[in-house]
Amino acid sequence: MVGSPIDGKQHALNLRGRVKLAVDNLKMHHEITPGLAVVLVGNDPASEIYVRNKGIQTKEAGMESLEFRLPEDTSEEDLLRKVRELNDDKSVNGILVQFPIPKHMSQQRIIETILPSKDVDGLHPVNAGYLASGLSGMVPCTPQGSAILIKETASDLSGLHAVVVGRSNLVGKPIAQLLLQENCTVTICHSRTKNLKEVCLSADILVAAVGIPELIKGDWVSEGAIVIDVGINRIEAPEKGLGKTRLVGDVDYGGVIKNASAVTPVPGGVGPMTIACLLLNTLVATCAQNNIEFSKLGF
Ligand code: NAD
């Protein structure tokens, strides 16, 4: 069996289109324009690209995009002050501090300073608690995007065995919670897991969120499994020329697609869904803050 690629770009385009229609409704019927504030500290080149793309797609969705660029040597207190200012700003419905932040700052302190209702990255412990309790809150964007791709690929997830490789708060744990909500039987693997290959082979749905280039090989995947590759790793690509690099996931795409029924490519799989879900979260946050029923926006 040779599987099909899951076209994350197309799924993300559809989702962003639906968000835009709902934003248009919100503007027309409630005279509210959602506002997303993104704070970038320092000059990390990858973060610069992410922030630029977020700004472009936020505006395309009809939302207000606010960008705040702070120098690398900004003190933690100054960043926290900025976050509190955005917490108090009524025109801001969602706040995202782009990670990584400089090493002299505590990521956890920043996360916990963002109001849970404006935490569109879904990382505040209050939102993590809502997710773990099966209650509605802000769900982290990459796991949410991954779960949407899985649901749009397999119609009924109930009873399927989902194996999640990686247990970070950002990806592994939340995706495991989302799959549990879909009635999957979920196994979470991590760096200390024994017999990782055997566990992966037992998966109907396999999610890789590790950060090790092409860790998951073709013979780790059982016939017909759905494979979601969250990893983004830049590796050297001498075949493209001296000093050139390319992006690969945590999955050996060429090997895995021979056994799996569907696989997300890197790039073009999970990545595009992340920003689309950020926009969706901003819309959901705007509705919650204004006591508007999200479902009434025709989403
Ligand atoms: P992380 O470093 O916080 O967590 C990695 C996890 O992998 C840990 O739980 C660790 O226990 C596990 N792990 C490490 N080595 C392992 C091994 N040999 N076997 C099994 N498990 C192992 O990383 P993260 O933030 O969860 O990100 C994971 C990957 O996803 C990275 O490549 C990151 O760049 C990517 N990512 C992509 C997006 C996106 O938008 N597509 C968003 C966030 C992260």
Residue 248 Cα to ligand 1 middle (Å): 13
Which ligand 1 atom is the nearest neighbour of the CA of 269?
41
Determine the Cα–Cα distance for residues 200 and 203; give it in Å rounded to an integer: 5
pLDDT score of 295: 87
Q: Please give the structure tokens belonging to residue 114.
A: 């963002």
Q: Are 234 and 243 in contact (CB under 8 A)?
A: no
The terminus-to-terminus CA distance of the chain in angstroms comes to 36
Residue 166 Cα to ligand 1 middle (Å): 6
- For 43, other C-beta atoms within 10 Å of its C-beta total 10
- Per the annotation, the verdict on 258 as an active-site residue is no
Please, where in the chain does CATH 3.40.50.10860 lie? 31-116
Hey, what amino acid is at 229?
D
Closest CA to 233 of 222, 215, 247: 247
- pLDDT tens readout for residues 150-191: 999 998 999 999 999 999 999 999 999 999 999 999 999 999
Q: Please give the structure tokens belonging to residue 161.
A: 């065995």
pLDDT score of 296: 87
Which ligand 1 atom is the nearest neighbour of the CA of 167?
9
Query: Mean pLDDT, the chain, as a whole number?
Result: 97
Please, where in the chain does CATH 3.40.50.720 lie? 141-272
Nearest CA to ligand 1 atom 1: 168
Mutate to test the pocket of ligand 1, among 53, 165, 171, 188 (most ligand atoms within 8 A of CB): 171
Does this model's pTM top 0.75? My answer is: yes
- For 295, other C-beta atoms within 10 Å of its C-beta total 8
98 has a pLDDT exceeding 90: yes
Is the CATH number of domain 31-116 3.40.50.10860? yes
**DSSP letter for each residue of 113-149:** HS-GGGBTT--SHHHHHHHHTT--SPPPHHHHHHHHH
Residue 286 Cα to ligand 1 middle (Å): 30
From the list 57, 82, 119, 121, the catalytic residue is 121
From the list 57, 82, 98, 250, the catalytic residue is 98
1 has a pLDDT exceeding 80: no
Nearest CA to ligand 1 atom 36: 231
Hey, what amino acid is at 83?
V
Which ligand 1 atom is the nearest neighbour of the CA of 274?
40
The 8 Å CB, 24+ separation contacts for 99-106 are 99/47, 100/44, 100/47, 101/41, 101/42, 102/41, 102/42, 102/72, 102/73, 102/74, 104/75, 104/76, 105/41, 105/76, 105/79, 106/76
- Per the annotation, the verdict on 54 as an active-site residue is yes
298 has a pLDDT exceeding 90: no
> Any residues with Cβ below 6 Å from ligand 1, and which?
142, 165-168, 170-172, 189-191, 193, 196, 209-212, 230-233, 270-271, 274
- pLDDT tens readout for residues 44-94: 999 999 999 999 999 999 999 999 999 999 999 999 999 999 999 999 999
Which ligand 1 atom is the nearest neighbour of the CA of 211?
32
In sequence order, what are the beta bridge partners of 110? none
Residue 124 Cα to ligand 1 middle (Å): 19
- Work out the average pLDDT over 13-30: 97
Residue 68 Cα to ligand 1 middle (Å): 27
pLDDT score of 299: 84
Contacts of 201 (CB under 8 A, 6+ apart): 220, 221, 222
Q: Which CATH number fits domain 141-272: 3.20.20.70, 3.40.50.720, 3.40.50.300, 3.30.390.10?
A: 3.40.50.720
- pLDDT tens readout for residues 215-269: 999 999 999 999 999 999 999 999 999 999 999 999 999 999 999 999 999 999 9
- pLDDT tens readout for residues 206-216: 999 999 999 99
- Per the annotation, the verdict on 240 as an active-site residue is no
Residue 250 Cα to ligand 1 middle (Å): 9
Strand, coil or helix: what is 214? coil
CA of 5: how far to CAs of 9, 23, 223, 262, 265, in Å? 11, 30, 15, 6, 6
State whether the Cα torsion 86-38-145-33 is positive or negative: positive
- pLDDT tens readout for residues 100-142: 999 999 999 999 999 999 999 999 999 999 999 999 999 999 9
